[in-house]
């Protein structure tokens, strides 16, 4: 059997278990197993896929091609009546444990890739987990890898220079080193998904990319030299481009990817196009990791209403990125 892809269940109080169940109900493009809690997954299947059963396994290699079942690598022992839609330290700790186990499997080569269902940052904090999100935790578990967040859908690809930091700290993160690293990561990410000569556009930090220094010095003093250095390395990079138009130009086909300077600059245009097919890819890890581009949706957890399209897109992206 081909090495499976590990799918973490996400926050047990959110929609993660339900969208995982819907994914298996629909059918998969490649073998996969769930890393999570058996009681919580059983509850979710009862809501969205009552015809499916759970196939508990001790390792990825023990997965069987058994129609009508969901291979599960059990982690933890949460109560089956864990409240839906609430920030809970138990759920935060469990979500982190699922990630840790899946990463260990990826680093040992037992799984082909890792796909993560949504987690809740407040629940992580309640559990004492010292990371604000998936990206930072994954970087730590991978030995301090230099990572970046890439958001993608069928119309737009965006890679971020800084991620979960305040806007003030995001401005401080605009350094030559960080800019050049992000441009290199954007180029490498595009090549990994099959673009032979990526066209990398770099968004400016300030309005109108600084307007020649009228609205700030960072674009001319830091971003432009980083673009020039990347071009000297053979990367087809350009910019800085005004942030209010560069994403539209990329969507129209002028660029293959945009390097955005901070979290909301990059995520707003991607999410505005719709969460249904959005995928988050962590670039720079020694394994492939993707996730849906939405959160835990506590307001509808337990109702069976959550859409699983973004999780399906994340799984398909992981399959494409690990194709022989």
**Higher model confidence: residue 284 or residue 73?**
73
**Higher model confidence: residue 153 or residue 259?**
259
Domains of the chain (ranges plus CATH)? 1-146+284-324 (3.40.718.10), 154-273 (3.40.718.10)
Q: Computed over its alpha carbons, how large is the radius of gyration of the chain?
A: 20
What is the average pLDDT score of the chain?
A: 93
Whether 87 contacts 101, CB under 8 Å? no
Is the per-residue pLDDT at 256 higher than 60? yes
Is the per-residue pLDDT at 210 higher than 60? yes
Q: Which of 189, 187, 242 is nearest to 219 (CA)?
A: 242
Tally: H helices and E strands in the chain:
12, 12
> Taking residues 92-104, what's their average pLDDT?
97
294-303 confidence digits (pLDDT tens)? 899 999 999 9
> Taking residues 81-109, what's their average pLDDT?
97
> Taking residues 299-314, what's their average pLDDT?
95
> Taking residues 24-41, what's their average pLDDT?
96
pLDDT band at 276 (very low <50, low <70, confident <90, very high): low
The dihedral sign for the CA sequence 227, 218, 242, 262 = positive
pLDDT band at 226 (very low <50, low <70, confident <90, very high): very high
pLDDT band at 137 (very low <50, low <70, confident <90, very high): very high
DSSP for 254-316 reads S-SEEEESSHHHHHHHHHHT-STT-EEEEETSSS-EEEESS---GGGTTTT----HHHHHHHH
154-209 confidence digits (pLDDT tens)? 889 999 999 889 999 999 999 999 999 999 999 998 987 789 999 999 999 999 99
pLDDT band at 272 (very low <50, low <70, confident <90, very high): confident
Whether 321 contacts 193, CB under 8 Å? yes
């Amino acid at each position: 059997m081909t090495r499976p892809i590990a799918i973490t269940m996400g926050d047990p109080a959110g929609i993660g278990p339900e969208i995982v169940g819907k994914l298996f109900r629909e059918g998969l493009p490649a073998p996969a197993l769930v890393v999570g809690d058996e009681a919580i997954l059983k509850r979710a299947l009862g809501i969205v896929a009552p015809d499916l059963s759970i196939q508990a396994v001790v390792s990825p290699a023990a997965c069987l091609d058994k129609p009508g079942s969901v291979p599960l690598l059990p982690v933890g022992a949460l109560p089956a009546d864990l409240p839906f839609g609430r920030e809970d330290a138990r759920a935060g700790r469990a979500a982190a444990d699922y990630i840790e186990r899946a990463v260990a499997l990826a680093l040992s080569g037992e799984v082909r890739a890792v796909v993560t269902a949504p987690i809740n940052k407040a629940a992580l904090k309640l559990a004492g987990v010292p990371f604000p999100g998936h990206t930072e935790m994954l970087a730590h578990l991978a030995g301090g890898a230099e990572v970046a967040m890439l958001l993608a859908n069928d119309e737009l690809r965006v890679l971020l220079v800084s991620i979960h930091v305040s806007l003030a700290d995001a401005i401080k993160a605009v350094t030559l080193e960080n800019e050049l690293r992000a441009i290199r990561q954007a180029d490498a990410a595009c090549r990994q998904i099959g673009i032979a000569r990526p066209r990398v556009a770099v968004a400016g930090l300030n309005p109108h990319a600084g307007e020649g220094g009228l609205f700030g010095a960072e674009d001319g003093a830091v971003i432009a030299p980083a673009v020039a250095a990347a071009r000297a390395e053979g990367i087809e990079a350009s910019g800085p481009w005004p942030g209010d138009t560069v994403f539209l130009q990329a969507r129209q086909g002028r660029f293959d990817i945009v390097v955005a300077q901070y979290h909301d600059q990059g995520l707003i245009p991607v999410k505005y196009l719709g969460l249904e097919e959005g995928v988050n890819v962590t670039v720079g890890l020694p394994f492939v990791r993707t996730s849906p581009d939405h959160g835990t949706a506590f307001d509808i957890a337990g109702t069976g209403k959550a859409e699983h399209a973004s999780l399906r897109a994340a799984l398909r992206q992981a399959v494409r990125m690990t194709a022989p």
